[in-house]
Amino acid sequence: MELSNKDKYSTLVQQIEHLVGNEKNIIANLANISAHLKMELNLFWVGFYFVDQSNEKELVLGPFQGPVACSRIAYGKGVCGKSWAEKKSILVSNVDEFKGHIACSSFSKSELVCPVIVNNKVVCILDADCDKVNGFCEKDRLMFESICSKISSFFVS
């Protein structure tokens, strides 16, 4: 019996919560979350960008799964930079139609980006790419927001 999308997403969030368990290391947790998302959702690329603490005008690449990626993204630039500036998730059905899209790979066709917010400040971005146009939907966005809400607790001591 195949799970409904709602059950699939609920199960995925529960699996992630179990996967990170009581681990306190942010890098270990984000590495495992990105690996789990890539495998379970069959993503082209998924990973995290951190607000660079030495230069708070750039995101710097963190744990990810997939081909090589852009190491830095400026505030407000591309989908990740815009998500950071606006403090909201962005779902892009076709990256070729997103003005200012930063193409780390020409194989990326759609993108879903969600900020991790702590004390009303973005600390990192969850970024996922699909190699198909319309690779993400609103249900995916809601699931990513749930995951990012969990991730925000990693940054609170």
Which helix (H) or strand (E) covers residue 149, if one does? helix 138-152
Instruction: Report the predicted TM-score, pTM, of the whole model to 2 decimal places.
Output: 0.90
pLDDT at residue 155 in the model = 84
Q: CB atoms < 10 A from the CB of 18, how many? A: 8
Classify 86 in phi/psi space as left (phi over 0), alpha (psi -120 to 50) or beta. alpha
Range of the domain at 50: 5-155
Average pLDDT for the chain: 89
Question: At residue 118, does pLDDT exceed 50?
Answer: yes
Count how many domains the chain has.
Answer: 1
Mean pLDDT of 130-146: 93
Q: Is 127 exposed, middle or buried (0-12, 13-18, 19+ CB in 10 A)?
A: buried
> What is the number of alpha carbons within 13 Å of residue 121 lying toward its C-beta?
9
β 72-74/121-130 pair status: unpaired
Share of the chain above pLDDT 90, in %: 68
Does residue 157 register a pLDDT over 70?
A: no
Q: Would you place residue 5 in the very low, low, confident or very high pLDDT band (cuts 50, 70, 90)?
A: low
pLDDT of residue 2: 43
CA distance 40 to 123: 25
**pLDDT tens track for 51-74:** 998 888 999 999 999 999 999 999
The CATH number linked to 63 is 3.30.450.40
